[in-house]
Amino acid sequence: MTPKIACFLAERKPETPCLVVDLDVITENFESLRQALPLADIYYAVKANPARPVLERLRRLGSCFDTASIYEIERCLDLDIPASRMSFGSTIKKEPDIARAYAAGIDLYAFDSSAELEKISRAAPGARVFCRLLMDGVGADWPLSRKFGCDVDMARDMMLRCPSIGLQPWGVSFHVGSQQTDPGQWETAVSKTLTLFTALREVGIDLKMINLGGGFPARYSMEVPDDRTYADAIMSTLTRHFGNALPQLIVEPGRGIAGDAGVIQAEIVLISCKSHNDPVRWVFLDVGKFGGLPETADEAIKYRITSCRDGDPTGPVILAGPTCDEVDVLYENYKYYLPLSLKVGDKIEFLSAGAYTSTCASVGFNGFPPMKEYCI
Ligand SMILES: *Cc1c(COP(=O)(O)O)cnc(C)c1O
């Protein structure tokens, strides 16, 4: 937790649950990635944390923005982010939304299917398009496999059609999976990308861009390599495959920018056991799966947790949310150890919770309002 966040929590004593984002960490993460990958344009993945102050900070730093809905686009436009600094990166878009994005000036679109390509050709004539390749998400704690992308053969055939339907075949994208803990995973992706570039060059189509996706990690319970390690792995596989003729490069970090910048503070609502001699305490919090921690599904993302009684002897706990739904258990198989001295009313914090939390909270399941977010 940064001193700024610690101070804010101590002095303001905001109602819990809440997310506090330190904008200076957003800056540090952005600058660190920019330094590590100077050849790549950074398109921040807005969905990770679309808070206005976060977007404003990134706009001032010169970031571009990867958007996934017309609503994200309109939010960026509202903040005076020029359309030329945005891509419409979702592969699943309604045609009228593409038309609205096009009218706003956006001319870079993702697709991974013929039907989507046809929508873009009708609603955004002349636009630049990039095809997303299918990845398997190996090594990622939050894989984005199966749902997105297509194989190289199909990508080639769709790219070939582009000129005849009035689109510019611009590039290739992939996502190696979110919270990708293995920098080596870009290797397979870049190799597939080269196959596609080569196949298209043979038929006279020169792609211009590789979109290397997101996947850069936040610091949860496991240590992760730093930006430089990722950058070295990515650049070495790129130069091995493409030599010095590197296309334009784009990265789309979400978690890697916003994750470490935020802390969720929650309150303990209840501590109980299921029998007299049960060594495991159930600790119920005022935040759960529906309140902003959906990435605890299958215990995929394991946040670092601190409490006001750290340093005291600890014991195993099962952590659960406050709603009356059986799935609202955060961690049961992976055992967290928390101080035995914890009491009802104590505060605990989830560290590195700046991405995929506040905006993923339900609007009011069980009547619980979405948590407040403070950007400081
Ligand atoms: C969500 C998403 C990202 C961001 O992924 P992170 O792992 O959070 O960096 C990037 N690109 C696309 C297309 C996405 O859908």
Instruction: List, as one string, the DSSP characters of 283-352.
Output: EEES--TTTT-GGGGGG-S---EEETTBTB-EEEEEEE-SSS-TT-EEEEEEEEEEETT--TT-EEEESS
Backbone angles phi, psi at 97, to 5 degrees: -70, -35
Where do we find the tokens 């390599």? 225
Residues in the chain: 376
Q: Which stretch of DSSP H or E encloses residue 111?
A: strand 108-111
- 176: closest CA among 207, 233, 133, 219? 133
> How far apart (Å, rounded) are the C-alpha atoms in residues 321 and 368?
11
pLDDT of residue 145 exceeding 80: no
pLDDT of residue 146 exceeding 90: no
Q: Span 294-305, mean pLDDT?
A: 96
Q: Quick one: residue 249, left, alpha or beta (phi over 0 = left, psi -120 to 50 = alpha)?
A: beta
Mutate to test the pocket of ligand 1, among 144, 220, 234, 257 (most ligand atoms within 8 A of CB): 144
Q: Span 154-169, mean pLDDT?
A: 98
Q: What percent of the chain has pLDDT over 70?
A: 100
Q: Span 236-241, mean pLDDT?
A: 96
Q: Exposed, middle or buried: residue 168 (CB in 10 Å: 0-12, 13-18, 19+)?
A: middle
Measured by CA distance, the residue closest to atom 5 of ligand 1 is 214
Instruction: Tell whether the torsion through CA atoms of 178, 357, 100 and 105 is positive or negative.
Output: negative
Separation of 252 CA from ligand 1 center, angstroms? 6
Quick one: pLDDT at residue 186?
95
User: 72 and 51 in contact (C-beta within 8 Å)?
Assistant: no
Range from 23-32, 88-97, 144-153, 193-202 carrying the lowest mean pLDDT: 144-153
Quick one: pLDDT at residue 144?
78
Mutate to test the pocket of ligand 1, among 58, 66, 109, 133 (most ligand atoms within 8 A of CB): 66
> How far apart (Å, rounded) are the C-alpha atoms in residues 25 and 355?
13
Q: Exposed, middle or buried: residue 19 (CB in 10 Å: 0-12, 13-18, 19+)?
A: buried
Task: Report CA 111 to chain centroid distance, whole Å.
Answer: 19
Quick one: pLDDT at residue 139?
84
Quick one: pLDDT at residue 236?
97
Going from the C-alpha of 39 to that of each of 90, 125, 144, 213, 251, the distances in angstroms are 24, 29, 25, 14, 10
pLDDT of residue 137 exceeding 90: no
Minimum-distance ligand 1 atom for the alpha carbon of 68: 15
User: 259 and 302 in contact (C-beta within 8 Å)?
Assistant: no
Quick one: pLDDT at residue 143?
84
pLDDT band at 224 (very low <50, low <70, confident <90, very high): very high
Instruction: Tell whether the torsion through CA atoms of 187, 239, 256 and 50 is positive or negative.
Output: negative
Residues in the ligand 1 pocket, defined by CB under 6 Å: 45, 47-48, 66, 68, 89, 175, 178, 213-216, 252-256
Quick one: pLDDT at residue 133?
97
The radius of gyration of the chain's CA atoms, rounded to the nearest angstrom, is: 22
User: 283 and 319 in contact (C-beta within 8 Å)?
Assistant: yes
Q: Which residues contact 38 (CB under 8 A, 6 or more apart)?
A: none
pLDDT of residue 336 exceeding 80: yes
List, for residues 305-334, the tens digit of each pLDDT value. Answer: 999 999 999 999 999 999 999 999 999 999
CB atoms inside a 10 Å sphere around CB 341: 13
User: 46 and 26 in contact (C-beta within 8 Å)?
Assistant: no
Separation of 63 CA from ligand 1 center, angstroms? 15
Minimum-distance ligand 1 atom for the alpha carbon of 90: 13
Q: Span 122-145, mean pLDDT?
A: 91
pLDDT of residue 257 exceeding 90: yes
pLDDT of residue 286 exceeding 90: yes
Where do we find the tokens 């947790």? 305
> How far apart (Å, rounded) are the C-alpha atoms in residues 330 and 346?
18
> How far apart (Å, rounded) are the C-alpha atoms in residues 174 and 167?
20
> How far apart (Å, rounded) are the C-alpha atoms in residues 373 and 354?
10
pLDDT band at 96 (very low <50, low <70, confident <90, very high): very high
List, for residues 37-83, the tens digit of each pLDDT value. Answer: 999 999 999 999 999 999 999 999 999 999 999 999 999 999 999 99
Q: Span 149-174, mean pLDDT?
A: 97
Q: What is the mean pLDDT of the chain?
A: 96
